[in-house]
Structure 1
């Protein structure tokens, strides 16, 4: 993950102690090791995960506005924040993720949502403050899944992501083949108790991105390496565009 001042961050996800590896990026794009920092938590390994232990996107996020790097500790059920100063990580703070096996983080403005992939699955909101992440009361929402605390690789949710305008929060669920959306209030709380469940156009929806206009959501589907483009409506319903 690129950061400021020609820095690149990589999460190790080590089971006995998660680490962040920092690399200096030269003008020729070559990387050189710059430091390793412990997160204060443990990495995680999903059941039957052959190569991608977290089976998710967005487990490490740099927030340019606050200058913070946010990392999940799936094996500990926690999230770590660092203050980034050039190629150094400082002021480590660790908070409970609000669920089991945190695997993805989405940021919009001064709030961050953490997706917990284990158990019933959930999302939990945190305010980004000068003293790290602070949980937002009343923001926790269940995804209604049926996983163990350490989820099966194929049945865990894949990613949580905001629409660029911050009006909706989308979560992909792989084996359920759904894209679930929470319409959002301005204060950072979900506007509904349960997500709006949209059937995926393709099988095993996994990663989410948006085009340059911010109006088209692209969802990568793992089963056949396909991509579907959607419009996310204000009420959380999706319209297939392509």
Structure 2
């Protein structure tokens, strides 16, 4: 009888350990994709990266957050387009509102980001808030006073942004661009402005 109790107590202890530590022993849910967030960090801007798991949770990518290359403002950006993944899935493009720049980061096989060498470009305006990309054609919305515009770039295969001559569309100072995006075929560029009807 006493050996039965000792065995039973041992089994109960093992079950208790597995119940408490079960998630540590369980295999990680498969990665279905990745999520990147422009932190707009004051001073040195950062991009946070997460694996999107099959069970619906997000798990930080090792090394996250990643240095973006420019500066953020430390406040929220009034745009849903402050960061984009390129059409070919090779790069993350992010606005750096605090330094009036755009950063290009290479997406590594494990989802980690690395700033492209010479991968920070002048946004050709002030306070960039949104960026759009379609087949290496890139547009940025600059919302700053005295420099409010939509401006185009070409994204090279090496991850550099080259200004597109004649592409800048100046906006009145009162017109605050919110988002800029392409339609699904890349034939139209759509821009929104804050406070207009």
> Structures share a fold, TM > 0.5?
yes
Residue in 1 that maps onto 2:173: 145
Q: Which residue of 2 aligns with 1:101?
A: 127
Which of the pair has the greater relative contact order for Cα pairs under 8 Å at 6+ separation? 2
| CA deviations over 1:98-136 (Å, ceiling 9, x no partner) | 000000011122201000000241111111112321111
Give the alignment partner of residue 185 of structure 2, picking from 165, 168, 172. 165
Change over 3 Å in CA distance of 1:32–1:157 after alignment to 2: same
**TM-score relative to the length of structure 2:** 0.74
Match of 1:84 in 2: 107
**TM-score, structure 1 normalization:** 0.61
Asked whether 1:69 is paired with 2:96, we answer: no
Aligned twin of 1:14: 41
Indicate which of 73, 87, 111 corresponds to 2:137. 111
What is the DSSP-based 3-state SS (H/G/I as helix, E as strand, rest coil) of the residue aligned with 2:81?
A: coil
Show structure 2 runs of 5+ residues with no match: 1-30
Give the conservation status (yes or no) of the 8 Å contact 1:44–1:101: no
> Structure 1 stretches of 5 or more lacking a match?
46-51, 147-154, 178-199, 201-242
Give the RMSD, CA atoms, in angstroms: 2.0
Instruction: Determine the C-alpha separation between the residues in 1 that align with 2:140 and 2:46.
Output: 19
Write out per-residue CA displacement over residues 62-108 of structure 1, whole angstroms, 9 at most, x where no aligned residue: 11315110000001000000111231212431000000000001112
State the structure with more CA Rg. Answer: 2
Distance in 2 between the 1:26 and 1:97 partners? 34
